[in-house]
Structure formats: C-alpha cells, structure tokens
Amino acid sequence: MKGVFVTGSNTGVGKTTVAVEIVRFLSQKQNLKVRKPVETGCSYGDTAKGPKDAILLSGACVQKEPLSVVCPYRFELEASAESASNDAGEALSLEGLVKACQENTKGSFVLVEGAGGLYSPIAKMALNSDLAASLGLPLVIVTEDKLGAISQALLTIAAAEKSKLSVLCVVLNQISKNGLSNREAICAYTKTPVISFSLDRIKEFCLEFEKLLEDS
C-alpha cells in the first residue's frame, strides 16, 4: 500500500487541517484517496453531527467517494475510538479498520488519518501505531508549535521507532504566532525532517512535503 499515515503528538494539534492541505495539493497531481476509518463525536437524527474530519478530507480530494467508504465507523461518544465503540456496543477490530483503509485503493496513493495520538486506542486492544504498522505506511507526525512541542515531537518519534514505524516527517503546526525556535531544537535531537506549517505558507509547506515524498 502506497501512502502516508497522519497522526498527532496529541489530540487537537491540527492534524486534520494539515492533512486537508496535503490532500488538496497532492490530489491534483496524482490518483489519491483518503481514509478516516473511524471518527468519534458523531451523532444522527435531526441534530446530526457528521464525521467532520472525514467530511473535510473528502471535500479536499479531487477523487470523490461515498462518505461511508471514507469513514465507515462513526460513534457518538467523544472519546477514544475503542471507548466510543464499546459505548455503542460494537466490537471494533484492527482487522476491520485495515480492511476499511485498503478497500478500493489499489493503485492509489492513500492518505490515512488516525484518531487521536499515535498511542491512542483505536480498536479493541489496538493503538493507532498498530494500524499504521498493519498498513505499512510511514508516519506524518503533527505537533502544535507551542511550549512543550519539542518533548511531544521527540516522544512520538521514539514511540514510532519502538513500534518499528518509519517517520516521513514531523509537521510543526503554528496555530498562533510565537517567537519559539521549536523547529531548530527538534532538528538538533533527531534526523527526522521537520516541516513548519501555517495557514499563511501553505504552498511552501506543500512543496516541501512533496519533495520529501519524492526523496523517500
């Protein structure tokens, strides 16, 4: 399977925002498909709140697929995927998630977005790292550019290495402007490439990311 697995150093670091821009850029140049196999915090009925991350990813992709294919597992409880599926009385398995990610993707570059951080439980007795390993995809680790980013990024890289996962890059997501030098500091402690992302330099980020893919 060819593609990348987008994960975060924590929840709420902006991995969907980063993933959407990668999809928007790359899907104009190649056959790309997106998968957000499971999303929590969804509801149904008159006050339906759909899988917002999957909707954003799907909307950015040139190649349109049914939302049920992009995100087949949706749960109402806003918690880890394992907890949310248990709450719904549904046994969510790693095998089921792998199958959902691989379905109808032959010959495509596939961007898979996980749920939560790398070590967040995503299925019964399975973490995001287990899904990435089962798919054989390199990681794109998104971390928010703020105080504490150095530790979060290095810890996630170490966790990936422990799980024998390859890391394509760390994306330092600058949600708000700051005077920190996190990129330089992270680079001093790892050989993993670090790319800065902000909404005012999306094109530059995408070109850097594309170059990394070409060189990998």
Domain borders along the chain are 2-215
Angle at 153 between CA 151 and CA 158, to 5 degrees: 90
* 104-114 average pLDDT score: 97
Give the distance, in angstroms, between the CA of residue 37 and the centroid of all CA atoms in the same chain.
Answer: 11
- The pLDDT-based confidence of 13 (bands split at 50, 70, 90) is very high
Write down the catalytic residue from 29, 36, 162, 203. Answer: 36
The pLDDT value recorded for residue 43 is 77
Pair of tokens at residue 33? 């498909």
The Cα-based distances of 152 to 59, 122, 139, 144, 211 in angstroms read 30, 20, 15, 9, 25
The pLDDT value recorded for residue 74 is 95
- The pLDDT-based confidence of 48 (bands split at 50, 70, 90) is low
Pair of tokens at residue 196? 């800065």
State the alpha helices, DSSP H only, in 61-196.
67-70, 81-87, 94-102, 128-135, 149-162, 182-189
The pLDDT value recorded for residue 45 is 54
- The pLDDT-based confidence of 2 (bands split at 50, 70, 90) is very high
Evaluate if residue 46 carries a pLDDT over 90. Answer: no
Q: Measuring CA to CA, which residue among 15, 216, 11 is closest to residue 112?
A: 15
Q: What class, spelled out in words, does domain 2-215 have in CATH? A: alpha beta
Mean pLDDT for the chain?
Answer: 95
* 18-30 average pLDDT score: 97
The pTM score is: 0.95
Active site residue 36: yes
Pair of tokens at residue 141? 């680790």
Evaluate if residue 184 carries a pLDDT over 70. Answer: yes
- The pLDDT-based confidence of 18 (bands split at 50, 70, 90) is very high
